[in-house]
Structure 1
Amino acid sequence: MTFDAQWLRLYVVTDSALCGDRGVAETVRQALAGGVTAVQLRDHEATTRELIDTARELRHLTAAAGVPLIIDDRLDVALAARADGVHLGQSDLHPVDARRVAGHGLAIGHSVSCIDEVEAVAEWPAGTIDYLGIGPVFATPTKPNAAAPLGIDGVREVLDCCDIPAVAIGGIKEVHVAPLREAGAAGVAVVSAICAAPDPAAAARILLAAEEIR
Structure 2
Amino acid sequence: MLSLGRLHLITDTRRGQDPLAVLRAALPVARTELVVQVRVTDDATDRQAYDLARRVSALCARYGATCLVNDRLHVALAVGADGGHVGAHDLPVGAARAVLGSAAVLGATARDPDSAAESVAAGASYLGVGPYRPTTTKEGLPTAIGVDGVRAVARAVDVPVVAIGGVTVADVPALRAAGAYGVAVVSALSGAADPARATAQLVGALTC
Does the TM-score normalized on the shorter chain lie above 0.5? Answer: yes
The Cα offsets for residues 114-150 of structure 1, whole Å up to 9 and x where unpaired, read as 22312323553xxx11111100010000123111101
Q: Considering only aligned residues, what root-mean-square deviation do their CA atoms show, in Å?
A: 1.7
- State whether structure 2 residue 105 is matched by structure 1 residue 107: yes
| Cα separation, partners in 2 of 1:25 and 1:187, compared to 1, 3 Å | same
Q: Which amino acid aligns with 1:108?
A: L
Q: How does 1:108-127 map to 2 (within 5 A)?
A: 108-121=106-119, 123-124=121-122
Identity of aligned residues (%): 39
Normalised TM-score (structure 2): 0.92
| Cα separation, partners in 2 of 1:19 and 1:82, compared to 1, 3 Å | farther
User: Aligned pairs, how many?
Assistant: 205
CA distance in 2, matches of 1:103, 1:16: 28
Return the offset for 1:84.
Answer: 0.6
Q: Which amino acid aligns with 1:60?
A: A
- State whether structure 2 residue 72 is matched by structure 1 residue 74: yes
- 5+ residue gaps, structure 2, are none
CA distance in 1, matches of 2:85, 2:100: 13
> 2:11 is matched with which residue?
14
CA distance in 1, matches of 2:13, 2:82: 21
CA distance in 1, matches of 2:175, 2:147: 6
CA distance in 2, matches of 1:212, 1:52: 32
Q: Which amino acid aligns with 1:199?
A: D
> 2:204 is matched with which residue?
209
Return the offset for 1:47.
Answer: 0.6
CA distance in 1, matches of 2:15, 2:157: 33
Secondary structure at the counterpart of residue 96 of structure 2: helix
Q: Which amino acid aligns with 1:152?
A: V
CA distance in 2, matches of 1:80, 1:40: 15
- 5+ residue gaps, structure 1, are none
| Cα separation, partners in 2 of 1:110 and 1:203, compared to 1, 3 Å | same
| Cα separation, partners in 2 of 1:26 and 1:143, compared to 1, 3 Å | same
Return the offset for 1:18.
Answer: 7.0
- 1:138 pairs, out of 115, 126, 133, with 133
CA contact (8 A) 1:178 1:212 kept: no
Return the offset for 1:52.
Answer: 0.5
Secondary structure at the counterpart of residue 16 of structure 1: coil
| Cα separation, partners in 2 of 1:207 and 1:122, compared to 1, 3 Å | closer
